[in-house]
Amino acid sequence: GFADSPVTWEQFLNMHKPGTFRLIKIFPVTQSTGKVRPCDDGDGGEHTELTADNNKLELCDATQPATHIRAVQNAASEQNVVLTPGVHDLETGGEDWPDAYRYTPFQPEQRLMAVVIFWHTEWKCPALCIYRGLLFGLSGAVIAFNRFSKFVQHMGRRLLFILLSMYFDDASLQDWASCRKSAQSCLSQLVSLLGRPWAPAKRQEMASTGDFLGLTHDFGKVTEGVVSFWPRQTLLLKLNTMMVDAWLANFFPPGLAAKMFGMWNFLETGLFGHLGRAGLTHLRLRQHKDPPPYEFHDGLAKLCQMLSALLSIQPKRTIRIKWTDRNRFLAASDAAADESSAPSGGFLLVFHPGPRLAAVPDLTAELANCLDPGVQKIAQWELMQVMIALITYPEWFRNRAGFWFIDNINGLIAMVKGRSGVPDLDHLAMVTHCLLFSLNCTMYWEYVQSGANWSDAISRLGRDDPWRKKHGFAFAPLCVPLEVFQMDLHTMLKAPPN
């Protein structure tokens, strides 16, 4: 096993003198899946400090299978090989090590630094045992174990020529369907020779879909150049159950808010763009600031409605693994506002192929009333330009990819992150990313200094902007549809990508 048999405190002192060993207590940790893991407290006994390692980890993420397939596509393009369905089909599989840390040995002379103490329920007293493998959760153990998984990863790549990536004890591998699972078989033989066989119960047989780090990836459209991702179904069911139980009990304590916040921050990595990042402010407030009683309020109710909408519509994340000839666009926007005058704004759009469009939305007092009270709203007016452009010219943005230049840092960060600590910016970011999903539009955000922003003049001069006239932009005044601010996610997302 990974540890010696447990003994009592008196028995342990008869074998080892005080001062020659260091104790570490063990405690249970309940994971989001409900599984209970024993974890070692590295802080109490100063084990973490004493085993600190300055090396930095370099890890992949859940989208690594798409990176593997992109490498195959690139290699095929370089060799002028056309990957055709039925001939060059790819499959994916997964492996996992059982009790990975516990069965990774360390130097025998250091074993007295790994003396675990716990309460023995039968003896009714503390019990101690000396580990033979790495302690679970210590920073030093994390670095040490990662060296071994990296070694196995490179063995699989260099010796077996397998598309393989390791994330600690989790393995993801891809191979041709025509190879009839030989890659998975050879890899299993390799790790067995190294003394660390995979866990048979956790094996994912080679197939067109697979799970890696909580996300399910689908190779059904690989030959079309797309790999799609979506959170694992068991995690979605877990989150939905938590929301329903809290709603029925009208009880949403800080602990539940913290757990949901952590789960959703992971789950949103499998959603289109940055959908699902916005709207989580109420979870943070309940976790850190809201006083009891911990009942549902309007903000939490709207949050649960948002999460339910996203789970039912399933805006899957897609990664393009080969070049596609999509139509492009280039855009810039700006807004101006001060205490002495009404806000103004405008944007310039260049579609290729397509027209050059210029517009100045009417930023009315009714629209300002939709925002939270406050003096400075320049970032909000800046983001409204993007949202209004998508609503006004949907057919020009549909299925395109392009860049949008913004000269406001706060607004830019909200768009890049998909959320903000400012409620107005948070909502505008959410609406914008919903519209991008509905239009199947890929947008990249770039910062531009105000002096170099080519939409600066139109935001102040409107139709009279000389730069717009010189470069042939067709002008249009626009009215802002206030109903967008009251629109629910089901309505905004009901038009799926083409």
Least confident interval from 32-41, 153-162, 298-307: 32-41
Q: What's the pLDDT at 153?
A: 96
For the stretch 216-267, pLDDT in tens is 999 988 888 889 999 888 888 888 888 899 999 999 999 999 988 888 888 8
Is the pLDDT at 134 greater than 60? The verdict is yes
Query: Which one is predicted more confidently, 98 or 156?
Result: 156
Q: What percent of the chain has pLDDT over 70?
A: 94
2 within domain boundaries: no
| CB contact at 8 A, 100 and 148 | no
Q: How many domains does the chain have?
A: 3
Whether 312 and 358 map to the same domain: the answer is no
Backbone angles phi and psi of 171, in degrees to 5: -120, 140
Alpha helices for 159-253 (secondary structure H) = 182-193, 233-249
The domain of 420 spans 328-492
Q: Which residue has the tokens 């190779």?
A: 219
Mean pLDDT, the chain, integer:
87
Is the pLDDT at 438 greater than 80? The verdict is yes
Whether 118 and 206 map to the same domain: the answer is yes
For the stretch 290-339, pLDDT in tens is 999 999 988 888 888 888 888 888 888 889 888 778 899 999 999 988 76
Helix (H, G, I), strand (E, B) or coil at 412: helix
Of 183, 208, 245, 200, give the one whose Cα is nearest residue 92.
208
| CB contact at 8 A, 193 and 223 | no
Of 37, 18, 48, give the one whose Cα is nearest residue 112.
18
Q: What's the pLDDT at 175?
A: 93
Whether 291 and 368 map to the same domain: the answer is no
Q: What's the pLDDT at 79?
A: 92
Question: In the numeric block, which tokens belong to residue 172?
Answer: 């993801």
Strands 401-406 and 442-447: parallel
Whether 166 and 54 map to the same domain: the answer is yes
Of 492, 347, 497, give the one whose Cα is nearest residue 431.
492
Whether 350 and 445 map to the same domain: the answer is yes
Of 424, 342, 438, give the one whose Cα is nearest residue 384.
424
Label residue 480 by pLDDT band (50, 70, 90): confident
Of 320, 341, 357, which residue is a domain's last? Answer: 320
Label residue 402 by pLDDT band (50, 70, 90): very high
Label residue 497 by pLDDT band (50, 70, 90): very low
Q: What's the pLDDT at 350?
A: 97
Pairwise CA distance, residues 98 & 8, whole Å: 28
Q: What is the rounded average pLDDT of the residues 272-288?
A: 85
| CB contact at 8 A, 418 and 461 | no
Of 485, 287, 282, 251, give the one whose Cα is nearest residue 367.
485
Whether 314 and 403 map to the same domain: the answer is no
| CB contact at 8 A, 359 and 482 | no
Of 234, 205, 231, give the one whose Cα is nearest residue 217.
231
Label residue 33 by pLDDT band (50, 70, 90): low
Strands 341-352 and 328-338: antiparallel
Of 320, 336, 371, which residue is a domain's last? Answer: 320
Of 303, 320, 337, which residue is a domain's last? Answer: 320
